[in-house]
Amino acid sequence: MIGAIEILIIAVIFGIIYGRDAIDTTFRKRPNESVVESFAEDIKVYYHEDPKRLAKLIIFFVSTSIFVITLIYWVITRTGFLRMIGLDQ
């Protein structure tokens, strides 16, 4: 029986192997530009290919951050988390 740690190690190895290829082909960073310039150029290309894609990305990041904030609020208010870490007497 394969345990969770072995599955995680296999997933990390595949992520390293295939993730590097995906990063190399996806982002076109030139040696004379910084990461921010490269990211700005990628955003421009994405916007010109599909103008709605940028709005979808912004909506995705905002909704994800709202979900995480709501989850943290729920954990703090509905569970004994503050007692577990010793902040609530």
Query: What tens digit of pLDDT does each residue of 16-68 get?
Result: 766 655 555 555 556 565 666 767 777 777 778 777 877 888 898 999 999 99
Handedness of CA 37, 27, 65, 80 (dihedral sign): negative
The residue with greater pLDDT, 23 or 5, is 5
The separation between CA 86 and the C-alpha centre of its own chain, rounded to angstroms, equals 30
- How many residues does this entry show for the chain? 89
| The pLDDT of residue 20 | 57
Once rounded to an integer, what is the mean pLDDT over residues 64-87? Answer: 86
Provide the whole-model pTM: 0.45
